Amino acid sequence: KAGVTQTPRYLIKTRGQQVTLSCSPISGHRSVSWYQQTPGQGLQFLFEYFSETQRNKGNFPGRFSGRQFSNSRSEMNVSTLELGDSALYLCASSLATGVGGYEQYFGPGTRLTVT
Amino acid sequence: AQKVTQAQTEISVVEKEDVTLDCVYETRDTTYYLFWYKQPPSGELVFLIRRNSFDEQNEISGRYSWNFQKSTSSFNFTITASQVVDSAVYFCCGSRLTFGEGTQLTVNP
């Protein structure tokens, strides 16, 4: 089975711009979660989608949004980029909702640099 | 609120030493799951183990073993006879998608 894929792998944007990141989960997985990883803050949970519905949300401002499509693929969008948004954005998929007993499988991440 | 605490930020050992990574999960949930993930230098997190709060049996997988104690909410991870390839950041995670800060393990030859 193919693993979780994320595109693009690297991205450089300027402050004020917006960005869209994409994630394709493992086939058959219906839950997709997004995380922000930075050296200072560790792994921070952004949100989780299951069956095209946002099921859980972390403590991030409204500039961070996401969606999930009927094929379980997910996108996250960050508007009005700030320097502090520079991070590795990780996508993870699981069979069902991640808030529970399902392990997550992570993609390689998208490295976003905001200048 | 849930909180995962990994007491050790960094651990450095010499190859073949045993090493234990600590994890404590604070939650009001009576039923919960705990996970360990490994993030090697390549960056991709890899799932290692899942344990539910009902099962306090220790688990062993090769050189890896896990000890869960519900009374202290601890889920510690031991690597026996460590190897250089074990060098990575190890994350403990609670069932509400809460990750600890991670422990950077460096195994020196």
Tell me the pLDDT of chain A averaged across its residues.
93
- Within 8 A of B1 by CB-CB distance, chain A residues are none
For residue B85, which phi and psi values (nearest 5 degrees)?
-70, -10
- Within 8 A of A100 by CB-CB distance, chain B residues are 33, 95
| Residue B43 C-alpha, separation from nearest chain A C-alpha, in angstroms | 7
- Residue A98 has a pLDDT of 58
CA distance A18 to A16: 7
Contact B37 A106 (CB under 8 A): yes
Q: Which residue would you say has higher pLDDT here, B46 or B96?
A: B46
The nearest alpha carbon in chain B to A98 belongs to B97
Nearest to B97 among A88, A98, A106 (CB): A98
Q: How confident is the model at residue A88 (pLDDT cuts 50, 70, 90)?
A: very high
- Within 8 A of B99 by CB-CB distance, chain A residues are 35, 42-43, 45
- Give how far the C-alpha of residue B23 lies from the chain's centroid of Cα atoms, to the nearest Å: 6
Contact A106 B46 (CB under 8 A): yes
Give per-residue burial for A76-115: e unless 16+ CB within 10 Å, then b. bebeebeeebbbbbbbbbbbebbbebbbbbbbbbbbbebe
Q: What is the mean pLDDT of residues A70-76?
A: 96
- Residue A4 has a pLDDT of 97
Q: Does B55 touch chain A (CB under 8 A)?
A: no
The nearest alpha carbon in chain B to A34 belongs to B97
Contact A109 B44 (CB under 8 A): yes
How far lies B61's CA from each of A23, A71, B64, in Å? 31, 35, 5
How far lies A44's CA from each of A91, A107, B12, B18, B26, in Å? 12, 15, 25, 30, 17
Tell me the pLDDT of chain B averaged across its residues.
92
Would you call A14 helix, strand, or coil by DSSP?
Answer: coil
Q: With a cut of 80, say whether residue A76 has pLDDT above it.
A: yes
| Residue B2 C-alpha, separation from nearest chain A C-alpha, in angstroms | 12
Side-chain half-sphere exposure of A34, counting CA atoms within 13 A: 31
Residues 6+ apart with CB under 8 A from A113: A10, A11, A12, A13, A86
- Residue B95 has a pLDDT of 80
* Residue B20 DSSP symbol: E
For residue A63, which phi and psi values (nearest 5 degrees)?
-65, -20
Contact B43 A56 (CB under 8 A): no
CA distance A107 to A104: 10
Share of chain B above pLDDT 70, in %: 100
Q: With a cut of 90, say whether residue A42 has pLDDT above it.
A: no
For residue A87, which phi and psi values (nearest 5 degrees)?
-175, 175
CA distance B103 to B8: 6
Contact B33 A100 (CB under 8 A): yes
Tokens of B68: 């869960």
CA distance B86 to A31: 29
Tell me the residue type at B52.
N
